[in-house]
Amino acid sequence: MSSLSILVLMLLTHEHRYRMVLLLFGMCLRSFSWRLLYKGTD
């Protein structure tokens, strides 16, 4: 799966859309981390 994600990232960067993708990915990671933090505290 890692190889597939790398290929997708390469394609996205080739299309110069990596900035938006990175932003969306970052937001997803933030929400996921927040959920983990809330679960840990709860």
Q: Check if the beta carbon of residue 17 is closer than 8 Å to that of residue 25.
A: no
Q: Check if the beta carbon of residue 12 is closer than 8 Å to that of residue 21.
A: yes
Backbone angles phi, psi at 17, to 5 degrees: -115, 15
In this prediction, residue 6 carries a pLDDT of 84
What is the value of pTM for the model shown? 0.44
Sorted by where each begins, the domain ranges of the chain are 2-41
In this prediction, residue 7 carries a pLDDT of 82
Per-residue pLDDT tens listing for the chain (42 residues): 688 888 877 777 766 667 778 888 889 999 998 888 888 776
Q: Which residue has the tokens 């994600």?
A: 5
